[in-house]
Amino acid sequence: MIHKIVFLDRETIASHINIRPPDFEHEWIEYGRTKIEDVADRLKDANIAITNKAPIRKNTLDKCPNLKMIAVAATGFDIVDVDECTKREIVVSNIRGYAVNTVPEHTFALILSLKRSLVGYRKDVADGEWMKAAQFCFFNHRIDDLNGKTIGIIGEGSLGSSVAKIGKNGFGMIPVFMDHDFVKDIDRKEKEFLPKKEFFSSSDIISVHCPLTPQTENLLNIEAFKSMKNSAIVINTARGAVINEKDLCIAMKEKLIAGAAIDVLAKEPPENDHPYMELLSLPNFVLTPHTAWASSEAMQILSDQMIDNIENFVRGKPTNMVS
C-alpha cells in the first residue's frame, strides 16, 4: 500500500529544518499554508494528515473517508476534533518534550527583559539619552534582581517544572505553583502548591505554562490582576486565551501590575486593532510573535518526532496518541 501523506502547513516549520522522508512507500504532498475552507478538499484522498495550525473538524472528517491518522506537529491538539477522531478510529498523535529547553529559555528572556528594563533603556539610548547624561549612567527605569523573588507558575508539566528548576537553581528564586483539582500526588510531594488567591497575591512573577481548557480560559482576568502585587509581572508562553486580553490592557493602563511579556495570543496573527497593539509603546510590555517554541534545535526535534509518530503508526505501534 502506498500511503498518501498531506502536510497542510509546512511553513509553520522553518525552511532550514530538515524533514526526513518516512521509511515506507508513500506519496508526499505539502502546502505552505491551508485556509480553513480548503482543508477538506486537500485531505479528501489522504491516509495521513500533518497539521500544525490548520483545523480538522467533524465537517472535514465527513469528507475524508480514507483518513486514518493525523500527525499534529505541535504539543497542543485543540485544532483537531479528537472526540470525533476517536469515534472513527482515526489515530491522532502529538509532539512531546521537544520544547523543554526553548520555552523555558524564552520565558526567562522575557522575564529578564522586564526586570532589567531592557526595552526602556534600549529606546532611551536610541533616543540619545545616554549621550545627554551628566554621568556614566542614568536611572530612567527600575531594575530588580530575580534572586529571592517568588515565581508563581501555572502548570506543573515539563515546561513549568523546567522554569521552576531554572528559577531556583539559576537565580535563587522561590518557585510556587497554582493549585488545582488534578494535581498528581507525586507533584504534591515535590512542589509547593498555593490556592489561587494566595498564589496571585504572593507571586512576584506569574508565568503561564498550562494548556487551554474550559477551566483555564480567561483564568487571568481583571479580578486576578487586582489580587496581584502592583510590582508583579505576568509572562505567557502557553496559550493566549488563558489571559483575558482586554483585562490585561486595563491592568497595564491602571498600573495594577508592573509589566507583562506575552508570546501568544487568543487569535494569531493579530488584527491591527488588537488590544495589545496599544501597549507596544510602553517600556514595560513585550510582545513576541509566538516564537518561544521555535529554536532551531527544538524544531528539528519536533520534525524528527513527527516522522517517528507517522512511521510507528504505519508499523502498527502508534506513539504519542491523544485519541
Whether 209 is catalytic is no
Task: Outline where DSSP puts E strands in the chain.
Answer: 3-7, 26-30, 48-51, 69-72, 91-93, 150-154, 174-178, 193-194, 205-208, 233-236, 259-262, 285-287
Q: Which of the residues 268, 278, 297, 315 is marked catalytic?
A: 268
Q: Point out which residues pair with 56 in neighbouring strands.
A: 80
Maximum pairwise Cα distance, the chain: 77
Q: Show the cell assigned to 293.
A: 517554541
Q: Show Cβ contacts of residue 78 under 8 Å, excluding neighbours closer than 6 positions.
A: 211, 212
Question: How many CB atoms within 10 Å of residue 194?
Answer: 17
Whether 33 is catalytic is no
CA distances from 75 to 29, 257, 280 (A): 23, 30, 29
Whether 3 is catalytic is no
Query: What's the rounded Cα separation, in Å, for the pair 323 and 306?
Result: 16
Query: What's the rounded Cα separation, in Å, for the pair 185 and 178?
Result: 15
* Gyration radius of the chain over CA positions: 22
Closest to 261 in 3D by CA, of 239, 240, 288, 242: 288
CA angle 143, 231, 250 (to 5 degrees): 120
Q: Which of the residues 3, 106, 239, 245 is marked catalytic?
A: 239
Query: What's the rounded Cα separation, in Å, for the pair 301 and 282?
Result: 36
* Cβ atoms of residues 262 and 238 within 8 Å: no
> DSSP assignment, residue 194?
E
Q: Show Cβ contacts of residue 290 under 8 Å, excluding neighbours closer than 6 positions.
A: 263, 264, 265, 268
Q: Which of the residues 10, 11, 290, 311 is marked catalytic?
A: 290
Q: Point out which residues pair with 80 in neighbouring strands.
A: 56
Residues taking part in catalysis: 239, 268, 290
